[in-house]
Amino acid sequence: MKQLIANFSKHLTEAISIGESAILHQPPYSIKNILISGLGGSGIGGTIVSQIVSGEARVPITVSKDYFIPAFVDGNTVVIICSYSGNTEETLSAMKFAMEKKAKIVCISSGGEVVEIAKKNGLDFILIPPGFPPRSAFAFPFVQLFYVLGFFKIISSNVIKDIKSAIDLIETEEGKILEEAKNIAGKLLNKIPVIYSDASIEGVSVRFRQQINENSKMLCWHHAIPEMNHNELVGWVEKNENLAVVILRNGSDYSRSQKRMEINKEIISKKTSTVVEIHSKGNSKIENALYLIHLCDWVSQFLADLKNIDSTEVKVIDFLKGELAKI
């Protein structure tokens, strides 16, 4: 896992090459909406991308993490199927329903049933490299989503320039990223992390939570500002040193949300002594997001090292899949 995280910028570079070579086809009807279907490490890219492009996307983008698809899906919908293995049962189910609705389907996968079905039915698909734990292959579907949205003219093509800038930023800052990640991991050890961020980057918080769950084998939760100010903040009543708060921050976060973060920090610091802020770097939403994702991935790995556990192991998920296969 360490080497996979270290190769993040290389994965992004390779993903750009894959996207440049992708062959897609326009649907016969106008596009009225987008549905991105995927779960876990395969699906989180859809959540983050949909938030990054929300200010410019010319049609609604919905992200689904279920066996089913929304009723609005029809021939005017582009359904993007994201399954790294190509065998995710929930995503395969959603794909079947999308085909029944005559939606325009684009698959992003390394193989499996998804690609077999796509080939058999003449559906568009983009092949990404196999052999990774899905969560460590994040860069590949993440970048392809931008290419797909760009091809259908849902967004501009300038995003690839921002991804290339993010690659340069990560490679330049890698030493500082490692140092900060180790420091943060030490503060989170033997505690329950609580992750907060502005609502506009909640997907990045979700990614961090998932990495702590899978790599660090720890429970964790997250919430977004301003919504948490209308409910969860009231729960900070008792002092609890078992909790460690991490606040993800961008300089571009909405000004009133930034003020809320400062007030929240003042309130929460009276209930736990561990309050950590992680500030992104970069000049675009994509740079900010990829910087935070990479740094937080390292935090999850260093936590695993401190706990002396295997960050790649996910036996409980394998057991769950095995039990489901018996049905």
| Assigned domain for 70 exists | yes
Domain end (from 157, 186, 212): 157
**CA–CA gap between residue 247 and residue 225 (Å, rounded):** 10
| Assigned domain for 319 exists | no
User: Taking 80 as the threshold, does the pLDDT of residue 200 lie above it?
Assistant: yes
CB < 8 Å & 24+ apart, contacts of 5-13: 5/136, 5/294, 5/297, 5/298, 5/301, 8/139, 8/170, 8/294, 8/297, 9/167, 9/170, 9/171, 9/294, 11/137, 11/138, 11/139, 11/140, 12/139, 12/143, 12/163, 12/166, 12/167, 12/290, 13/167
> Letter for the amino acid at 149?
L
Quote the pLDDT of residue 318: 87
DSSP 36: E
Residues 202 and 127 in one domain: no
Residues 191 and 250 in one domain: yes
> 324 falls in which pLDDT band (50, 70, 90)?
confident
Nearest to 54 by CA among 166, 200, 162: 200
Domain that includes residue 92, residue range: 2-157
Residues 166 and 150 in one domain: no
Residue 209, domain CATH: 3.40.50.10490
- pLDDT 10s digits, 102-154: 999 999 999 999 999 999 999 999 999 999 999 999 999 999 999 999 999 99
| Assigned domain for 81 exists | yes
Residues 147 and 171 in one domain: no
Domain end (from 132, 157, 182): 157
CA dist 32 → 17, 38, 74, 246 (Å) = 29, 20, 9, 38
Provide the domain count of the chain.
2
What positions carry a catalytic annotation?
A: 214, 230, 321
**CA–CA gap between residue 42 and residue 291 (Å, rounded):** 19
Residues 142 and 246 in one domain: no
Write out the H or E segment, with its range, that includes residue 10: helix 8-21
Residues 6 and 100 in one domain: yes
Residues 122 and 178 in one domain: no
**CA–CA gap between residue 167 and residue 169 (Å, rounded):** 5
- pLDDT 10s digits, 212-258: 999 999 999 999 999 999 999 999 999 999 999 999 999 999 999 99
